[in-house]
Amino acid sequence: MKLTVLVDNNTLIDRYFLGEPGLCYIIEDAGKKVLFDTGYSDVFIRNAHKMKIKLTDIDAVVLSHGHSDHTGGLPHLMTMFTEEALENRTVSMPDLICHDHTFRTKVTREGVDIGSPAKEDKLEMHFNLRLTKDPVWITDNLVYLGEIPRMNSFENQHPIGKDDFVADDSALAWRSNKGLVIITGCSHSGICNIIKRAKAVCGEDRIRDIIGGFHLLHPSAEQMEGTLACLVKENPEKVYAGHCTDLKSKIALAGHLNIKEVGVGLILRYEEE
């Protein structure tokens, strides 16, 4: 499995890509190409072009949840598909896999729209929609986890905006003989809840690596302590904490875990063995 970071808040030093407060990865496994989230704008397309990564032949788009910093690139992707088709170039019609609440209205307490700019009626012209709460196996080893049960008392205790506990928040897991690689978007459902879900879906207790956003933005002491205790117990080899993980939280995690830098241009490669 190969994972390339197309969008993150940061870019790697001496790699001249564009960053934005969003997330997008391209994942290649078993001959399939999967786009995980689309960032906030067309930055993922521009970065992919610089990396010589083709996006017109992707097999699936997976959305971690419906906020605009993860779905904002969808209109730009559809525009690219349309332009390519008008030039008589081959364009795939990928699956679009996400929770069935992903495209519901999402607003802040002040009434600002923070949901997806693309809705189902337009998306179904370009994608095979697979909106589900259930896990979806994309390859023999890569799985969309579906709805994440809220199992502990220290995560997902406060709504985002107006009473939105982001029930649509999910993640990916990749299964290897050395354990699971967990790939998250924002972890609104809680990184520890996601780990429990991944273990149950995959029938695997070992956690190899974790990459993505942890939604640790000025967390309460209870959430930080609970998250840290959970992750230390899981003992992953490496933790790539990006996007919505603030500096103070990264420092706290780094005191006990092998925290790695995340930025646009990062490439991770994993063998099954």
**In the chain, % of residues over pLDDT 90:** 94
For domain 2-269, say whether CATH 3.60.15.10 is its number.
Answer: yes
**In the chain, % of residues over pLDDT 70:** 99
Q: Provide the Cα torsion 65, 63, 98, 246; round to 10°.
A: -30
DSSP assignment letter at 264: B
Q: Mean per-residue pLDDT for 102-126?
A: 95
For the cut 90, the answer to whether the pLDDT of residue 157 exceeds it is no
pTM above 0.85, yes or no: yes
Q: Would you mind telling me the total number of residues written for the chain in this entry?
A: 273
Q: Mean per-residue pLDDT for 174-189?
A: 97
- Closest among 106, 122, 27, 115 to 69, alpha carbons compared: 115
For the cut 90, the answer to whether the pLDDT of residue 161 exceeds it is no
The C-alpha atoms of residue 154 and residue 223 are separated, in whole angstroms, by 5
pLDDT band at 35 (very low <50, low <70, confident <90, very high): very high
DSSP 68-117: HHHHTTHHHHHHHHHHHHHTT------EEEE-TTTTS--B-TT--B-S-S
For the cut 90, the answer to whether the pLDDT of residue 24 exceeds it is yes
For the cut 70, the answer to whether the pLDDT of residue 153 exceeds it is yes
> Which amino acid does the sequence have at 94?
P
Return the pLDDT at 112. Answer: 94
For the cut 90, the answer to whether the pLDDT of residue 77 exceeds it is yes
pLDDT band at 158 (very low <50, low <70, confident <90, very high): confident
pLDDT band at 196 (very low <50, low <70, confident <90, very high): very high
Q: How do residues 244-255 score in pLDDT, each as one tens digit? A: 999 999 999 999
Mean pLDDT, the chain, integer: 96
pLDDT band at 179 (very low <50, low <70, confident <90, very high): very high
For the cut 90, the answer to whether the pLDDT of residue 163 exceeds it is no
Q: How do residues 84-98 score in pLDDT, each as one tens digit? A: 999 999 999 999 999
Please list the helix, strand and coil fractions of the chain in percent, rounded to the nearest 5, in that order.
25, 25, 50
pLDDT band at 273 (very low <50, low <70, confident <90, very high): low
Q: How do residues 218-243 score in pLDDT, each as one tens digit? A: 999 999 999 999 999 999 999 999 99
Classify the phi-psi angles of 150: left when phi > 0, otherwise alpha if psi is within -120 to 50, otherwise beta: beta
Q: How do residues 45-62 score in pLDDT, each as one tens digit? A: 999 999 999 999 999 999
Return the pLDDT at 188. Answer: 97
